[in-house]
Chain A
Amino acid sequence: MVGSPQQKEVVIRVRGLVNRFDDNVVHQGLDLDVYRGEVIGVVGGSGTGKSVLLRTIIGLNEAVAGSIELLGTDMVHGSPEALRKVRQRFGVLFQDGALFSSLTVAQNIQVPLKEFYDLPQDLLDEIAAAKLFMVGLSPDAGSKYPAELSGGMRKRAGLARALALDPEVVFFDEPTAGLDPIGAAAFDQLVRDLQQALGLTVFMVTHDLDSLHAICDRIAVLAEKKVLLTGPMDVMLKDKHPWVVEYFHGPRARAAAITATLEERM
C-alpha cells in the first residue's frame, strides 16, 4: 500500500446508490470508493447485489438513484460521447469469458481495437499475440473458436480481450468460479502479476476466499443493502457483524487462511 487514503486517487466513486427491481430493493444508499492501483474484492451473500453493483458501475444497469463516477466520468448522467470515451479505459471479464462465439480468440481481441482505431492487420495481429502472451496463452490459441477452449482458457482469452485497449481499470465477475483449485490459484496469480506489471486497478466480485487472501488489497462486504465494511483482511477478521464473522471464520475460511499462511512461509 502506497500513501495514506487521503493522497490516493479515487477511480470509482459510488454515492447513495439505489437499485430496485420491482419491489425488491437491492441497494439502498450504497457508498463505495475504489483507489487507483488497488485490488478490491467485493463479497456478500447470494442476492446482496454484487453483480448488480458491478453492472451498475460499468453502465449496464441503470441506477434508480445515486451517483457513480468511474475514472472521472459520470456514469449515470454522462453524455453518450463521454461514456464511449470512458469505455476505452476499462475492461470487463464476464463470468464465462463472454467471448463472441462466431469469432476466433484473436479476432475477439481485435474487436475493440478495430472499433476504435484504424490500424494495419499485421500490427493488430502483433497486439493480439502480445495480449495472449500476457494472459499465458500460446499463440496458436488465437485461431481457435471459444467452443474449442476449456473453461480456464476461455477465461484467459476473455481477460486478453478485456485488456485489448490497455485499460486502467479491470472488472472481474467471479473470475475463479468454475475453475479447479489449481487453475483458480494460477488465475489469481495471473491477475496479481498483470495488476502489478500494468498498474491496473482491479474490481473483483468473488466468492473465493482463497482469492481474497491471495490478491485482494481491500475487501468490501455487501450486506443490508449497502457496503457494510471495507478494509484489508485483518479488519474483516476482527469485525463482529454476524454475517462477517460467519463468512470469514467459517470452516472454509479457516482452510483458506491456513493455506494463505503456509504460502507466506514458503
Chain B
Amino acid sequence: MAEGQLQAGRDGAVLRLSLTGDWTLAHAATLLGRLGGLATAGLTGSHLHDGGTREARLDTTSLNRLDTAGALLLVRLYRQLEDQGFSIDWPAPRHEHRSLFNYARGCGEAVTVWPATDSGVAGAVQHLGWLTMFFLREARRFTGFIGEVTETAVMMAFRPRQMRFTSMVHHMEETGLKALPIVGLLSFLIGMVMAYQGASQLQKFGAEIFVVDLIGISVLRELGVLLTAILIAGRSGSAFTAQIGTMKVNEEIAAMRTLGLDPVVVLVLPRMFALMLTLPVLTFFADIMGLVGGALMAWNALGISPDLFFHRLHDAVVLRTFLVGIVKAPVFAALIALVGCYEGLRVKRDAESVGRLTTRSVVQSIFLVIVFDALFSIMFNFLGV
C-alpha cells in the first residue's frame, strides 16, 4: 500500500497539486497534516505572491486507492483553494473514483452528533421542571393504577371464580417458599449483629439482660418486617416487572386484551394476593430467625442462656409488639406488587426499557416501603400503641 501523497509545485504560472498513492482512512491523519501545512505555508507563501496567479490545477489521475475519508480531504483542499480565490481546473477523475467524489461534495454540511440541549442555568431549571412534571404525572398514573386494581379486586369478590388460583399458588411458591432460605439467613445474621452491638453497649452499664428487650422489640416491631419487605422488593418486585415487561415487549399483553382478558385479573391480582399472603408468613419466619440469632449471640457473648433469654423475652415483649410488626406486612406486600406490576406494564416495545423500569421498580418499592414504615410509626404513636 502506497502512502497517500500531495505534491505542490508550479507549472509556469499555475499552481499544480498532484495527488498520488492511497488516499484512504489509514493515511488520513498524515494527509490531514499535509493539508494543514499547505494552508499555512504553501498556498499563502511562495506559490501565491510571485506572479500573483490564482490558477490551480488538481491532478487526481494517478491516484491509486480512494475511500470516503480521502474524498472528503480532497474536497476540503478544493474548498480551501476556492476560498482563497483560485480558479480551479480539475480534470475528470478516474471512473471508479467519481461517485465517491460526488458523495463527498454532495454531503456539504457537517453532521450533528449530539441532540441540542440547553446548558447552564436555563437548562438546569428546564430539567428541574421536567422532573417535577414527570414525578407528578407518574404519581397520578400510579394512583390511577391503584384505583383500577382496587376496583377489579372488589369486582372479583363478587365473582370469585374468575380468580386465577393456580397462578396465585405458583407465585406464592416463587415469592414465598423459595425466598425462605435467604430471608431466614439474613434475619438470623441481623439478629446476631444486633445482639453483639447491643451487648457491647449495655455491658458498660451492667444491664446485659436488657439485650433481650432490645432484640425482641426491634426485631419484632421493625426489623423483621422491614428487612423482609426490602428483600422481597429486590427479589420479587423486580421479577414482576421483568416478567410483565417481557410480555409487553412480546406484545403478549396486547394479545391478551384483544382476547378479552384483563391483564389486571390475569397478571396483577394473582401476584398481589400471593405476595400479600406470603409476606406476613415470611415476616413471621424472619422474626423467629432474628430472635434465634440474637439468642445465640447473647449466649455466646454475654452468657445469657437460651432458657433465660426466652424467659426474659416473655416479660419484655407483649403480643401487641409482634402484631404491630406483622400488620405492616400485607401493606408492604401490596405496595411492592403494585409497583412491580405497574412498572412492568409501563415497558415500551424496546428491550432496553425492561432493564430501566426493573431498576426503577426496585428503587421505588423500597422507597415506598420505608416511607410507609415511617407513616405507620407516626400513626402508632398517635394511637399510643
Contact = CB atoms under 8 A, between A and B. Distances in A.
Interface stretch (A68-76, A138-146, A221-229): A138-146
Contact of A139 (B71, B102, B112): B112
Contacts of A120: 32
A172 B210 CA distance: 74
Contact of B72 (A101, A130, A165): A130
Contact of B28 (A101, A107, A119, A144): A119
A106 to B, nearest CB: 4
Given A120-B32, A197-B100, A198-B100, A132 B111 contact: yes
Contacts of B352: 101, 147
B355 to A, nearest CB: 11
A45 interface: no
Interface residues of A, number: 37
A198 B104 CA distance: 12
Interface of A is mostly: helix
Given A104-B115, A127-B72, A130-B68, A122 B110 contact: yes
Contacts of B68: 127, 130-131, 134, 163, 166
A58 interface: no
Contact of A199 (B72, B96, B102): B96
A127 B106 CA distance: 12
B112 A140 contact: yes
Interface string B72-115: 11000000000000000000000010011011101111111111
B112 A106 contact: yes
Nearest to A193: B99
Given A147-B350, A199-B96, A134 B111 contact: no
Contacts of B107: 126, 129-130, 132-134, 139
Contacts of B114: 104, 143
A21 interface: no
Contacts of A127: 68-69, 72
A181 B113 CA distance: 31
A218 to B, nearest CB: 22
B96 A106 contact: no
A182 B145 CA distance: 41
A139 B113 CA distance: 9
- Contact size class for B? 20 to 34
A113 interface: yes
Contacts of A197: 99-100, 102-103
A107 B113 CA distance: 6
A62 interface: no
A179 B106 CA distance: 27
B99 A198 contact: yes
Interface in B235-276: none
A2 to B, nearest CB: 13
B163 to A, nearest CB: 38
26 contacts: A101-B352, A110-B113, A116-B25, A117-B25, A117-B28, A118-B29, A119-B29, A123-B72, A125-B111, A127-B68, A129-B108, A130-B68, A130-B72, A130-B104, A132-B111, A133-B103, A133-B106, A134-B68, A134-B103, A134-B107, A142-B111, A143-B112, A143-B115, A147-B350, A197-B99, A197-B102
The 5 closest A-B pairs by CB, nearest first: A197-B99, A133-B107, A142-B111, A166-B67, A129-B111
Interface of B: 24-26, 28-29, 32, 67-69, 71-73, 96, 99-100, 102-104, 106-116, 350, 352
Interface of A: 101, 104, 106-107, 110, 113, 116-120, 122-123, 125-134, 139-140, 142-145, 147, 163, 165-166, 196-199
